[in-house]
Amino acid sequence: MVQDNKRSALAINRRRILQAMGAAGIVGAAGCLSDDNGNGDDGNGNGDDGNGNGDDGTPDVSPGEDIDFEDIIEGGTLRAAVGANVDSFDPPYSSDTTSTMAQGFIYESLLANDSEGNLYPWLAESYELVETNDVDRTDYEPYMRTVTAGEDGALDVEEQILITHEEDAGAEEGEEVRILTTTEAPDAIADGVFGMHYRYDLEEGVMFHNGEEMTSADVVASYRRYENSQVSAQTYDSVLHVEADGDYTVHIYAQIPDAEGERELPGAVVIPEEHADLPDGGLDPREGVTPIGTGPYELEEFEDEQYFVVTKNENYWVEEKGIHSKEWFDGPDAYPDGPVIDEIDVDIVPDNATRSAALQNDEIDITYGLNAETLDDFNRSEDFFVAGVETGGYEYFQYPVHVEPWDDQRLRQAVNHLVPRQSIVDNVLAGFGRPAWTSLPELAAGSGTTDAEALEEELRPMNEYDPERAEELLEEVVDDLGLDTPIEIQLEVNADNDDRVRMTELVAEAMEQTGYFETTIETYEWNTYVGRVLDPEYAQEGHIACIGLSGTFNPHSFCEALHHQSNHGQCCNLQGVGTDELDEMMDGARYGTDVAEDPDLRRERYDEIWHALAEYSASSITHFDLATGVTNTDVRGFSMWPFNEGIFSFALYSPTEEQVIYLERDE
């Protein structure tokens, strides 16, 4: 999942001006490297004085406000501001945060999540894993057809390509390529060649905003719309085939057994069949089409790049059926059968400082994505409520493992000990984050480790700021390899993310202090930087790169993107790190009938991976972000969702967590 950098590139904001006036800089932060940062002797900033933070270094921010459902006031208009335009209301033709956020009001999926990633039937009344087969992608060879590669190896095929034969990957122009498309997939399934088979029995009586009932045909058509779309890769890297069975049953087949299949396969949002064949991106008010879904809100107004308004769906199916009709729901009787706020007015305000000012000026009730200093101000005020939860967003440094002397893992381990994770969280992020003592955040711990506490206990010593241990390792490496010191190294980072730049400066400062390194820092404009670090040749340049990424509830997203060799030259294995053995370990933790059927085995395998990655030390994950939202005191019951794209839909109404917000305006 993309780390939302879209608007960080706006070069003009209040914070930059303050910096230009000398109000911020690294000077203050650099002094926090040593043990004298107001914390304990361990120097990891883990004391209980620090910055008014708790023992874990995070500020006093709760994940949400508890309310008594009996007190709920119905009605009102919530005024919100988001940080970017809605690129599209067409789900398969948008992947940016704001689009997903806006679509979350309107559309729903077969399953719903809670904030720990547990799944619950939603548009599906129930679902089951029918069958798992021990197949891999080579088993589809008999069903593949051959096409000729065009210019740049492009394949001119109308259907969605599901699998390209591994031997034909990277074919040149004129060469033949074997592929399996959506046309051939049913033949394979008929012969029992598929990885997994899930059956979803749909809720009956679910109405779209246009009054039509949702049936299995709509679900199948929704998946069809994802074919060859902007996000088709995310859907059809696992989905093999979707078929209807009567009006209320859908079967979804996976290409190979996948421990993440339960979450990955039903990921598409459901749209009416009549919208499935619209032109690319055509499901959008700017194209004269009003989006229609089954969700609790309907799109009322949209002014491109200015605002959009959604109003309550008066025929919301949950209100018709009652939330207690869901077998898994065991909340109190007073919990409402749908969101209670009538209207949401969402202004599009790219600049953080402007959103912050609008919130202070009572022009909006809620916003998100503010920087650490601003959050701190709001958090200290009684007129505002800041909610925060640990998210899957993380930042990491990656070392040039293919360039001497960085191919020696002792050197990388040494630098990893010079990454002052706690100082970064305390001083750069004002406590709005958690040091990454392991590579696994809380939200993915459920399926990513057998014991999160034990894992942290074992790996934390390898990831703590420890200049003494770093110097021991450095001395060893320098002697063994006969290196001349100081070792010159360039650290690189994108200039338009202030926190990331300051973080890099702290690490460079720590490296310099050892006397073994002579560092330089090079900053780049975001697009330039991304183009640079995703270039396969970058691995040979011998620089340390710093970038951010966002994982999901899937533990795989915290190891595979950075370390699987197949991700070199694309997001986000920047330095071509990894080994065949690591690849096998990662594949083995996610794919295969054994882990698909045995979650405990999967957890054990991930535990092995986290240990192996800590030893290998190709990447230093610094911290996990805190997703934060700020409201005024008119908003009651606000709780934060771990990912920005879901904060409004989650806060407004989410039975999986018994979450609902209402407005209590002073008359």
- Residue of the chain from 19, 126, 210, 306 that contacts another protein (CB under 8 A): 306
- Residue of the chain from 571, 593, 594, 611 that contacts another protein (CB under 8 A): 571
Nearer to another protein, 359 or 414 (CB): 359
Helices and strands in the chain, H and E counts: 22, 24
Please identify, among the stretches 226-234, 379-387, 395-403, 441-449, the one whose residues bind another protein according to the rule CB under 8 A.
Answer: 226-234
- The alpha carbon dihedral of 45, 49, 54, 55 has a sign of positive
Half-sphere exposure (Cβ direction) of 547: Cα atoms closer than 13 Å = 30
Tell which positions 72-101 bind another protein, by CB under 8 A. Answer: 81, 85, 87-88, 93, 95-96
Q: Rounded to 10 degrees, what is the CA torsion of 556, 558, 563, 565?
A: 40
The two beta strands, 384-398 and 543-550, are: antiparallel
Please identify, among the stretches 249-257, 559-567, 585-593, 596-604, the one whose residues bind another protein according to the rule CB under 8 A.
Answer: 559-567
Tokens in use for 514?
């050892």
Residue 134 binds another protein (CB under 8 A): no
Q: How far is the CB of 44 from another protein (least distance, A)?
A: 29
Q: How far is the CB of 277 from another protein (least distance, A)?
A: 16
At residue 397, the 3 state secondary structure works out as strand
Q: What is the rounded radius of gyration, in angstroms, for the C-alpha atoms of the chain?
A: 25
- Residue of the chain from 138, 210, 315, 570 that contacts another protein (CB under 8 A): 570
| β-sheet bridge partners, residue 143 | none
Please identify, among the stretches 194-202, 269-277, 544-552, 641-649, the one whose residues bind another protein according to the rule CB under 8 A.
Answer: 544-552
Contact between residue 365 and residue 663 where contact means Cβ atoms under 8 Å apart? yes
x-or-dash string of contact with another protein, 397-436, rule CB under 8 A: ----------------------------------------
Nearer to another protein, 12 or 27 (CB): 12
Query: Quick check: bond before 572 cis, omega within 30?
Result: yes
Q: How far is the CB of 549 from another protein (least distance, A)?
A: 6
| β-sheet bridge partners, residue 573 | 568
- Residue of the chain from 318, 561, 577, 652 that contacts another protein (CB under 8 A): 561
- Residue of the chain from 258, 464, 560, 625 that contacts another protein (CB under 8 A): 560
| β-sheet bridge partners, residue 343 | 77, 311
Place of tokens 């207690």: 324
Q: How far is the CB of 276 from another protein (least distance, A)?
A: 17
At residue 502, the 3 state secondary structure works out as helix
Q: How far is the CB of 371 from another protein (least distance, A)?
A: 16
Nearer to another protein, 85 or 519 (CB): 85
CA separation for the pair 368, 375 (Å, rounded): 9
Please identify, among the stretches 25-33, 198-206, 531-539, 658-666, the one whose residues bind another protein according to the rule CB under 8 A.
Answer: 531-539
Q: How far is the CB of 327 from another protein (least distance, A)?
A: 32
DSSP 124-187: EEEEEEEEE----GGGGGGG-EEEEB-GGG-B--SSPEEEE-GGGTTPPTT-EEEEEETTTHHH
- The alpha carbon dihedral of 43, 48, 49, 52 has a sign of positive
Q: Which of 251, 259, 544 is nearest to 397 (CA)?
A: 544
Tell which positions 145-204 bind another protein, by CB under 8 A. Answer: 152-154
- Residue of the chain from 63, 331, 486, 569 that contacts another protein (CB under 8 A): 569
Nearer to another protein, 217 or 534 (CB): 534
x-or-dash string of contact with another protein, 265-304, rule CB under 8 A: ---------------xxx-x-xx---------------xx
Q: What is the DSSP letter of 557?
A: G
Nearer to another protein, 252 or 660 (CB): 252
Please identify, among the stretches 61-69, 420-428, 568-576, 616-624, the one whose residues bind another protein according to the rule CB under 8 A.
Answer: 568-576
353: left (phi > 0), else alpha (psi -120 to 50), else beta?
alpha
Q: How far is the CB of 449 from another protein (least distance, A)?
A: 20
Tokens in use for 623?
């911290």
Residue 491 CB neighbour total at 10 angstroms: 21
Nearer to another protein, 216 or 557 (CB): 557
Contact between residue 258 and residue 196 where contact means Cβ atoms under 8 Å apart? yes
Q: How far is the CB of 358 from another protein (least distance, A)?
A: 4
- Residue of the chain from 19, 62, 138, 527 that contacts another protein (CB under 8 A): 527
Nearer to another protein, 15 or 469 (CB): 15
Place of tokens 């200290």: 380
Place of tokens 């208009």: 77
Q: How far is the CB of 401 from another protein (least distance, A)?
A: 19
- Residue of the chain from 30, 364, 491, 510 that contacts another protein (CB under 8 A): 364
At residue 393, the 3 state secondary structure works out as strand
CA separation for the pair 47, 50 (Å, rounded): 6
Nearer to another protein, 11 or 27 (CB): 11
Please identify, among the stretches 381-389, 439-447, 521-529, 607-615, the one whose residues bind another protein according to the rule CB under 8 A.
Answer: 521-529
CA separation for the pair 250, 124 (Å, rounded): 9
x-or-dash string of contact with another protein, 36-75, rule CB under 8 A: ----------------------------------------
Contact between residue 439 and residue 624 where contact means Cβ atoms under 8 Å apart? no
- Residue of the chain from 46, 51, 77, 234 that contacts another protein (CB under 8 A): 234
Residue 510 binds another protein (CB under 8 A): no
CA separation for the pair 372, 432 (Å, rounded): 7
Residue 258 CB neighbour total at 10 angstroms: 23
CA separation for the pair 417, 463 (Å, rounded): 6
Residue 263 binds another protein (CB under 8 A): no
Please identify, among the stretches 7-15, 112-120, 410-418, 512-520, the one whose residues bind another protein according to the rule CB under 8 A.
Answer: 7-15
Query: Quick check: bond before 336 cis, omega within 30?
Result: no
Nearer to another protein, 501 or 562 (CB): 562
CA separation for the pair 528, 524 (Å, rounded): 6
Place of tokens 């229609």: 292
Residue 559 binds another protein (CB under 8 A): no
Q: How many residues belong to the site for another protein (CB under 8 A)?
A: 70
| β-sheet bridge partners, residue 492 | 522, 545
Where on the chain is the footprint of another protein (CB under 8 A)? 1-3, 5-7, 9-12, 14, 17, 81, 85, 87-88, 93, 95-96, 152-154, 230-234, 237, 280-282, 284, 286-287, 303-307, 347, 349-351, 353-354, 357-358, 360-361, 363-364, 526-528, 530-532, 534, 547-550, 557, 560-561, 567, 569-572
